Amino acid sequence: MRHLLSIADLSAAQAIQILDTAEELSRVSDGPMKKLPTLRGRTIVNLFAEDSTRTRISFEAAAKRLSADVINFSAKGSSVSKGESLKDTAQTLQAMGADAVIIRHSASGAAQRLADSQWMTGSVINAGDGTHEHPSQALLDAFTIRRNLAHGGSDLTGIHVAIVGDILHSRVARSNVLLLTKLGAQVTLVAPPTLLPTGVESWPVSVAYNFDDVIDKVDVVMMLRIQLERMSELFFPNAREYSHYFGLNRDRLKAMKPSAIVMHPGPMNRGLEITADSADSARSVILQQVTNGVTVRMAILYLLLAGSQEL
């Protein structure tokens, strides 16, 4: 594995290897051993052409715990925002000796363009490209679900996950649909018809327009962030109607199975797609997702960079 560009490229076995590696690493970082020498001498660049604090910090923490050197190249004030092309940025990073580039970009396919181009030789890790994929998020989500619900199993067979919200524009949804089904879970998408992509019938999922039909049947409720700009693009009439039909409120929280958990990739719009008490309830594993994010990203960096490049 030289790059991590999309879940679509991973086999189930590779995905499970990442989860298992993360499981071991979490034992290490839960204990007193906070820093490991494994990636000492490697340079990892965070190329964040789109704003994101949490993902960037998560990757940075993961890299530093493995003793790698981290360089941050973020959108505001950098040459990327002044219109320097992706190609020039990549060639500059190559000249600086980057072993890996973690790229977050507003253009779908940007990570793949970087990896396929001849502009640089390091590993490319997709930290979110447009509305296409966000592989490390899906991996940490699967890791969290596995820990909470798989009872020792290595995959997610028999677990039913509902993904709720703006599926059309969500890279988190796309990556999760691919990964969860690859690992044997059952996935139901819940959204208004305007926020489901044409062609969703070809996805290995069920679709529901009515949240209440689904809420008491699933083991995981994964809420997606809804952007208010979508209102001006006529995807739904207003915030009130959206949260009435698709928000995780107290009544829906109560209707969930006793063992079911609540997830959210963050950042949350408290009060819009998820109420404060749902987010803070005992069923919510949202903070676990954040912690797991660092360990899963450590696993990704280890598997991509620690060994030799030939497979």
Partner 1 sequence: MTTSFVIKGGKLPDGSQSDIAIAGGLISAIGSDLPVANATVIDGKDCVVLPGLVDLHTHLREPGKEDAETVLSGSQAGVRGGYVALSAMANTSPVADTAGVVEQVFRLGQSAGLLDVFPIGAVTQGLAGEELAEIGAMADSAARVRVFSDDGHCISDPLVMRRALEYVKKFDGVIAQHAQEPRLTQGSQMNEGIVSSQLGLKGWPAIAEEAIIARDVLLADHVQARLHICHLTTAGGVEIIRWAKQRGIQVTAEVTPHHLLLTDELARSYDPIYKVNPPLRTEADVMALREALADGTIDIVATDHAPHPAESKECEWQEASFGMIGLETALSIVTKTIFDTGLLTWSAIADRMSYAPARIGLYAEHGQEIRVGAPAHLTVMNPTKSIRVDRDLVSSRSRNTPFHGMELPGVVMATFFKGNLSYKAGA
Partner 2 sequence: MERAITRISHEILERNSGSDSITLLGIPTRGAHLAARIASKIEAIEGRSPQCGTLDITLHRDDLRMRPPRALMPTTIPSLGVENRNVILVDDVLFSGRTIRAALDALGEIGRPASVQLAVLVDRGHRQLPIRADYVGKNLPTSLTQIIKVHFTELDGVDEVTLEEGLA
Residues of this chain that bind partner 1 (CB under 8 A):
8, 85-87, 105-110, 112-113, 116-117, 129-133, 171, 174, 197-200, 202-203
Q: Which of 3, 42, 55, 131 is catalytic?
A: 55
Q: Confirm or reject binding of residue 33 to partner 2 (CB under 8 A).
A: yes
Minimum CB distance to partner 2 smaller for 38 or for 281: 38
As to burial, measured by CB atoms within 10 angstroms (0-12 exposed, 13-18 middle, 19+ buried), residue 252 is buried
- Check 104, 113, 132, 169 and give the catalytic one: 104
Q: What is the DSSP string of 46-74?
A: EEESS--SHHHHHHHHHHHHTT-EEEEEE
Catalytic residue among 27, 34, 35, 54: 54
Rounded CA separation 253/216 (Å): 9
- In the complex with partner 1, the residue whose CB is nearer, 21 or 94, is 94
SS3 252: helix
Distance CA 304, CA 61 (A): 16
Q: How far apart are CA 210 and CA 191, in angstroms?
A: 8
- Inter-CA distances, 55 with 85, 86, 194, Å: 23, 20, 28
**How far apart are CB 220 and partner 1 at their closest, in Å?**
23
User: Does position 35 bind partner 2 by CB under 8 A?
Assistant: yes
Q: Choose the contact partner of 129 out of partner 2, partner 1, none; CB within 5 to 8 A by kind.
A: partner 1
Looking at this protein, which amino acid is placed at residue 280?
Answer: D
The interface partner of residue 87, options being partner 2, partner 1, none and the CB cut-off 5 to 8 Å by kind, is partner 1
Q: Using the rule CB under 8 A, is 306 a contact of partner 2?
A: yes
Question: Interface residues with partner 2 (CB under 8 A)?
Answer: 17, 20-21, 24-25, 27-28, 31-38, 66, 302-304, 306-308, 310-311
| Residues taking part in catalysis | 54-55, 82, 104, 134
